[in-house]
Amino acid sequence: MGRRLLRWGLIMLAVVALVVGLRVYVEQARKPDYANLAYGRASPWQRLDIYLPQGAGPFPALIFAHGGAFAFGDKRLSGRGFRDDVNALNAAGIALVSIDYRMSGEAHFPAAVRDMKSAVRFVRANAPRYRIDPARIALWGQSAGANIALDAGMSHGVGLFDDPAARAPGADDRVSAVVSMYGPTDFLAMDPQLRAAGCKASAQTHSAADSPESRYLGGRITAVALLVAQANPLTYANRATPPLLLQHGSADCVVPPLQSRILADRVNAVAGPGRAILQLRTGAVHADSAFDTPANMAVVIDFLRRAFAAQPVD
């Protein structure tokens, strides 16, 4: 009897997994206009997809890095929210470039940031081929991807992030803006901030030796101070920081909302008031569906339009 119940239990789990898998597949974005383009030579993960609006272009472009604790994820398998976001951006005349990048199981920091920089350079160097405006390129990331996007977007000219295996190493890495959704900005401050916010002790593990951040850096964050500083977007705040849109859930007990606030405060103090816009979504948790609603994407699109309008068009 026990074995029969176990067998039926395993069958039901398999069915549930199949249904969930089919749902994710169905809710993927449409087929990219250009798929699996190689922007680097060091890894098969250095690939990107391009989703273009209808028309001749050239279009401004938003380059996206998925989340996944620096350890997992895929440029296409982001569920319904990603599909709707692609459609909204394309309807607004903005191309979406979604990238895969090297994750912590393959290569430690700064590999992922180098990958996003290489993607920027590839898109800019090949802009005419893909109907993209090279003067209007912005970055977007969620969670771990937001940390990567912020590092890449705020560190123009920083040699640490130059990848000799890039396919367009000579192209400019400058971007017009960065959109960060619930991204970490100061690894060592995360656990104290979670504690102060009243989050459970089980959430206060970012300083552990096996935390996503420690695996990403290749060493426990409390023991690799230089790497932590190099990986923290706070380090790269300067007068030339591009416009930032920082969105966070007020009830986030994975990456505390103070992570976005301290970056906004630092950037606005250094680059001038309003350079970083902080928006807290009341009651939203980490990776909340509130960030993928049409209303929120309208906010993101408005921010991008204003940032792109400030750029000279070649």
Q: Looking at the domain assignment, is residue 148 inside a domain?
A: yes
Q: What is the pLDDT of residue 310?
A: 87
Segments of the chain with pLDDT less than 70? 1-29, 78-80, 312-314
* Cross-strand bridge partners of residue 47: 38
Verify that 20 and 158 share a domain, yes or no. Answer: no
Return the pLDDT at 306: 98
181 bridge partner residues: 142, 247
Residues 105 and 2 in one domain: no
Check whether residue 150 and residue 297 sit in a common domain.
yes
Q: Which two tokens stand for residue 261?
A: 């606030």
Dist CA 146 CA 180 (whole Å): 5
Instruction: Kindly state whether residues 21 and 37 are assigned to the same domain.
Output: no
- Other CB atoms within 10 A of residue 21 CB: 11
The answer on 85 and 62 residing in a single domain is yes
- 45: tokens are 């993960």
161 and 185 share a domain? yes
In a domain, 314, yes or no: no
Nearest to 308 by CA among 205, 175, 197: 175
Let me know whether 20 and 126 are in one domain: no
d(CA 264, CA 281): 15
Q: Are residues 304 and 212 in the same domain?
A: yes
Co-location of 9 and 105 in the same domain: no
Task: State whether 226 and 265 are in the same domain.
Answer: yes
Domain extent at residue 292: 31-309
Q: Does 36 share its domain with 50?
A: yes
Report pLDDT for 30. 83
Q: 87: domain CATH number? A: 3.40.50.1820
User: Do 52 and 7 share a structural domain?
Assistant: no
The total number of structural domains that make up the chain: 2
